[in-house]
Amino acid sequence: MSSTAASPPPGETAALSSLGGRLTHRQILTILSGLMLGMFLAALDQTVVSTSIRTIADDLHGLSSQAWVTTAYLITSTIATPLYGKLSDLYGRKPFFLAAITIFVIGSAACSFSTSMTELAGFRAFQGVGAGGLMSLALAIIGDIVPPRERARYQGYMLAMFGTSSVIGPLVGGSLAGQSSILSITGWRWVFLVNVPIGTVALFVVAKVLNLPHTRREARIDWWGAITIAIGVVPLLLVAERGQSWGWNSTKSLVCYGIGVVGLIVWVFVERAMGDNALIPMRLFHSPVFSKTSVLSVLVGMGMFCGVLLIPLYLQIVKGVNPTRSGLLMLPLMVGMIASTLVVGRIIAKTGHYKIFPVIGTALITAAMLLFHYRVEWNTALPETMAYMALFGIGLGGCLQILTLAVQNAVEPKDMGVATASATFFRQMGATAGTAIFLSVLFSNVGDKIGSAFRSAIPTANFQAAVHDPAVLSNPANAPVIDMLKHPSAGGGSGTGVLNDSSFIQHLDPRLAEPFKVGFTGAMHVVFVLGAIVIALGFLAALWTKEIPLRKVSGLEAARAAESMHRRRSSP
């Protein structure tokens, strides 16, 4: 897109002054408080549920179906995201943000009444419809009321809130799920009920403070675009979540691949035919900044989840900490991300330049992943590991907010919602793809790595002392390894048991547990190299993306000025 879309033309500033100017810092913070409550719902829900899902599945007798609870939520929230963006551009942000909060709260309450995993998956799908608008619409509203040069600072507050929820989420989820009952209600049901009071407060705050002018635009709603993108994305999300259990080359997976590819091809043709009425107008991709930033969002989403998934698994399986404590040990990553976000926001506000930060950020994430590969072993001291987490978080802080900022700055104000939703959509797709790819690589390697670690450990004096120790042999907790060694033809030494349930490792004699930890760490090293390659590609994409000067007016100011100038030109 040309630079004229990025900076106001001569005379626009004068037009803005006649329109009453921009919101004050205090007014922005008032609106931001409502937006952050809405975002807090979505951010907290993800970590709270992930921590407690095992307890929930056990209580509802559906452990094998727990993945569908996550998949259903992920599918509906991803599909709803671009639809919220487009509709809010046409009819205003407030009604759809209120609708998103309402749907999310109703869905949360419904989840607490679930009597089976099937019901819970259905209610989570409904809840996801609301979640799809919480994050993207909040960022779009900030784009409406704050100039791009100042926007990074306010988005930093939002990402700080997101990081905070990521830390307290596991604590809340673990404590609630760990209670047999609270006020005569099963503990895990409060995981969902806690959203109701928070969402109700958010609903009233947003209804009161979010009063932004909007010029209604009449246009055809791209329902066919919504349908075809669902046909394209849903099968790919399904295979991403279930491919490990189905088999990546199974008939189910191949059918999903085929339907997904056909659906996406048809979606592109539908969007081209719809023109400006499209869910994601194809003309946006004519902007090199929009197209390259979309690719970068996918890559950063993939890389981010490489670390966010693997590090807690390392802490829980190798270091033996529980999910709640692993959330606390992730604090360096979150603090690094929050601090980096706030510092970067202030620098952008002062200098007006932003391109350097995704370049530095992707370089730091790549370095952190390589350090995890080369330096982190099963017995590495936690302080060293936590230092690499902080480096990873600092890199993320230099990328996440800037990608949204760059996209918003590259499009016309009328496309603010769809552009912001697109950035969120592509990052979610990258995160989903990354989850599927990295977990597949991890679990396809971990069995062989553990088997190799056992073969190396068995001849050692330390291991032999353990297997001949009467105290070890008499302890039932060590029976899985002792039986495996006695019957190697039945899969002994392959370590495949860790694929299904790793909890037994923490009860083993440390000498018997060591090969499992060594093997898992070795499998993790393979994934971190792959993640480093993905983020290195993101580094190149960031390096080759042109920086467009940041506008000094907000989206609403630019839209008002354009409308005012249009009236002047059309008047006799």
Q: What is the pLDDT of residues 420-479, one digit of tens each?
A: 889 888 988 888 788 778 878 888 888 889 989 998 999 999 999 998 899 988 999 888
Distance between CA atoms of residues 66 and 70, nearest Å? 7
Q: Which residue has the tokens 């921009």?
A: 22
> What's the full length of the chain, in residues?
572
Output the six-digit token pair for 303.
């890389």
Cα torsion at 166, 48, 237, 522 (round to 10°)? 60
For the segment 99-116, the average pLDDT, to the nearest whole number, is: 94
Residue 256 has pLDDT above 50, yes or no: yes
Chain segment 34-72, per-residue pLDDT in tens: 888 888 888 788 778 876 777 787 788 775 666 678 778
For residue 1, what pLDDT is reported? 39
Map residue 45 onto helix, strand or coil: helix
pLDDT band at residue 372 using 50, 70 and 90 as cut-offs: very high
For residue 500, what pLDDT is reported? 56
Taking alpha carbons only, the member of 344, 340, 400, 393 closest to residue 367 is 393
Is the distance from CB of 132 to CB of 82 less than 8 angstroms?
A: no
**Residue 65: count of CB within 10 angstroms of its CB:** 15
For residue 497, what pLDDT is reported? 52
Output the six-digit token pair for 414.
């009328």
Higher pLDDT, 16 or 89: 89
For the segment 168-172, the average pLDDT, to the nearest whole number, is: 76
Output the six-digit token pair for 432.
């989903």
Domain boundaries, the chain: 23-219, 223-278, 456-512
Q: What is the DSSP annotation of 26-94?
A: HHHHHHHHHHHHHHHHHHHHHHHHHHHHHHHHHHTT-GGGHHHHHHHHHHHHHHHHHHHHHHHHHH-HH
**Architecture of the domain defined by 23-219:** Up-down Bundle (1.20)
Output the six-digit token pair for 445.
């390697």
Is the distance from CB of 337 to CB of 396 less than 8 angstroms?
A: yes
Residue 4 has pLDDT above 60, yes or no: no
Q: What's the pTM value of the predicted model, to 2 decimals?
A: 0.82
Q: Which residue has the tokens 């604090």?
A: 331
For residue 489, what pLDDT is reported? 53
